[in-house]
Amino acid sequence: MELFYAYEVSGRYCRLDAEESGHCVRVLRHRSGDEIDIIDGVGTLYHCRLTLDSPKGAEAEILEAQEGFGSHPYHLTVGCCPTKNNERFEWFVEKATELGVDRIVPLIGDHSERKVYKTERASRIALSATKQSLKARIPEIAEPVSVKDFIKSCHSERSEESLRLIAYCFEDEEAPRRSIMEVLKEMPGRPGQNITVLIGPEGDFSPEEARLALESGYIPIHLGPSRLRTETAAVTAVEAVYLWSLTL
């Protein structure tokens, strides 16, 4: 099954941009009349008939729509400080997308070596991983924001509606950390449960960032005894939520 991405769905028609059209028409040689599968990137799969086989801008008529195609029973935001080596962060974006994530927020921490992050490449990787893993919703790659500003921005959400976790490596006697599995197991696990996990940079979160998170209702967690690289920790958090959802 090959999926294409429509930048526009209006009425009974889906429109593909030049890149998707070229792949559909020039590479895969689809012609008007062929039936193809198109996602809108926000959760719906459309089974369509190609009506305009232009490699610059193809159009297809919708025959059937399937909402929530390849969806998962939670809403997961991962805030993660991009790694020094870009490829490692992009690898995390690919794996998180395959497993199931809704929003990835590149965070700039007090101890981050990388203070700027461009999201274009990660967004392209999220799109191709979404199609490859047969999902209709492309995770949002947010613009970078500082750890402290991100934590403050969550203040609006009502905490009983969302589970907020922060993973750091140091011990704080006033706020002992529990394993992510222990915390998830205590969850009622409503479908669509909102979960946010914060993963720090190679140099970990600063004590000030950790304190602000705890004051804002974040639960301090650890990801087990192994010493994990930043991108491995981020994938482990997504795996924990994904595997936990299998037990609901």
Instruction: Please give the DSSP secondary-structure letter assigned to residue 218.
Output: P
CA torsion sign, 235 to 238 to 80 to 147? Answer: negative
Q: Decide: is 216 part of the binding site for a copy of itself (CB under 8 A).
A: no
**Strand, helix or coil for residue 161:** helix
Among 12, 19, 132, 149, binds a copy of itself (CB under 8 A): 132
What is the distance between the alpha carbons of residues 57 and 4, in angstroms, rounded to a whole number? Answer: 13
Q: Of the candidates 33, 188, 192, 225, which one interacts with a copy of itself according to CB under 8 A?
A: 225
**Phi and psi of 67, rounded to 5°?**
-75, 155
- As to burial, measured by CB atoms within 10 angstroms (0-12 exposed, 13-18 middle, 19+ buried), residue 188 is exposed
Rounded to whole angstroms, the Cα distance separating 178 from 185 reads 11
Nearest distance, CB of residue 244 and a copy of itself, angstroms: 8
- Which range binds a copy of itself by CB under 8 A, 49-57, 78-86, 106-114, 229-237? 229-237
Among 50, 199, 232, 234, binds a copy of itself (CB under 8 A): 232
What is the β-pairing status of strands 35-39 and 3-10? parallel
Place of tokens 């804002």: 216
Residue 17 is a binding residue for a copy of itself (CB under 8 A): no
In the complex, minimum distance from the CB of residue 97 to a copy of itself, in angstroms, rounded to a whole number: 9
Stretch that binds a copy of itself, among 11-19, 25-33, 205-213, 232-240 (CB under 8 A): 232-240
- Of 17 and 239, the one with the shorter C-beta distance to a copy of itself is 239
Q: Point out which residues pair with 198 in neighbouring strands.
A: 79, 166
Amino acid identity at 231? E
Secondary structure element (H or E) that encloses residue 86, with its range:
helix 86-99
> Are the C-beta atoms of 81 and 117 separated by less than 8 Å?
no
Residues 154-193 that bind a copy of itself (CB under 8 A): 179-182, 185
Q: Rounded to the nearest whole angstrom, what is the least distance from the CB of residue 223 to a copy of itself in the complex?
A: 8
Q: How many other C-beta atoms lie within 10 A of the C-beta of residue 83?
A: 22
Round to whole Å and give the CA distance between 227 and 221.
14
Which of 52, 62, 134, 169 contacts a copy of itself by CB under 8 A? 134
- # chain residues binding a copy of itself, by CB under 8 A: 33
Asked if residue 68 binds a copy of itself (CB under 8 A), the reply is no
Site for a copy of itself in 82-111 (CB under 8 A): 91, 95, 98-100
Q: Exactly one of 29, 31, 158, 227 binds a copy of itself (CB under 8 A); which one?
A: 227
Judged by the rule CB under 8 A, the positions of this chain that interact with a copy of itself are 70, 72, 91, 95, 98-100, 132-135, 179-182, 185, 224-229, 232, 235-236, 239-240, 242-247
